[in-house]
Amino acid sequence: MILIAADHAGPELKRRLTAFLEARGHDYRDLGVSSTDAVDYPDLAHRVAEGVATGEARQGILICGTGIGMSMAANRHHGVRAALCHDPLTAELARRHNDANVLCLGARVLEPEMAERIVEVFLTTPFEGGRHQRRVDKIETASSEGEKP
């Protein structure tokens, strides 16, 4: 399952990407929004990140104007590794080296065709593990009590 959400800057791109996911047989759930009425992007980022963090979904896709705000908010969740990607290479490396599980995209900075290519690469690239696992393990720097490891 893939969770997808967009703020008011991204409903058009989200519609295109949900059609893209459907055409490729991906199981997804759209968590909003569908209009250009202003909303607070952290609310949507937290919905998707929570679903990924709890195992409800294996991956998420978040869309805002630049992708920056969504990635900042999503990365506040334990176990979420949200990556802002601008091209297929950053999507590939985010998956291969960082085991990213949430893809963040900027609707105002990406052409729709490029966004589709990024999503395809993100969803089909496996995590390499090995030496990268040690590094991924170091991403979580604080326990639930706020102590450093």
pTM: 0.94
What range does the domain containing 19 cover? 2-137
> Domain with 15 in it: what CATH number?
3.40.1400.10
How far is the C-alpha of 125 from the C-alpha of 143, rounded, in Å? Answer: 29
Query: Are 103 and 61 in contact, with CB atoms under 8 Å apart?
Result: yes
Tokens of residue 38, six digits = 């202003």
Amino acid at 115: A
What is the Cα–Cα distance from 111 to 92, expressed in whole angstroms?
Answer: 18
Q: Is residue 50 part of a domain?
A: yes
Question: With 80 as the cut, is the pLDDT of residue 35 above it?
Answer: yes
Question: Do the domain assignments include residue 66?
Answer: yes
Summarize pLDDT for 43-69 with one digit per residue, the tens. 999 999 999 999 999 999 999 999 999
138 touches 81 (CB < 8 A): no
Asked if the structure places residue 47 within a domain, the reply is yes
Question: Does 142 reside within a domain?
Answer: no
pLDDT at 25 over 80: yes
On whether residue 64 sits in a domain, the answer given is yes
- 129 part of a folded domain: yes
Summarised one tens digit per residue, pLDDT across range 79-106 is 999 999 999 999 999 999 999 999 999 9
Is 64 one of the annotated active-site residues of the chain?
yes
Look at phi and psi of residue 130 and say left if phi exceeds 0, alpha if psi is from -120 to 50, else beta.
left
149 assigned to some structural domain = no
Express as a percent the part of the chain with pLDDT over 70. 95
**97 labelled catalytic:** yes
144 part of a folded domain: no
The C-alpha atoms of residue 121 and residue 126 are separated, in whole angstroms, by 10
Choosing from 46, 64, 85, 104, the catalytic residue is: 64
In angstroms, how far is the first alpha carbon of the chain from the final one?
32
Number of domains in the chain: 1
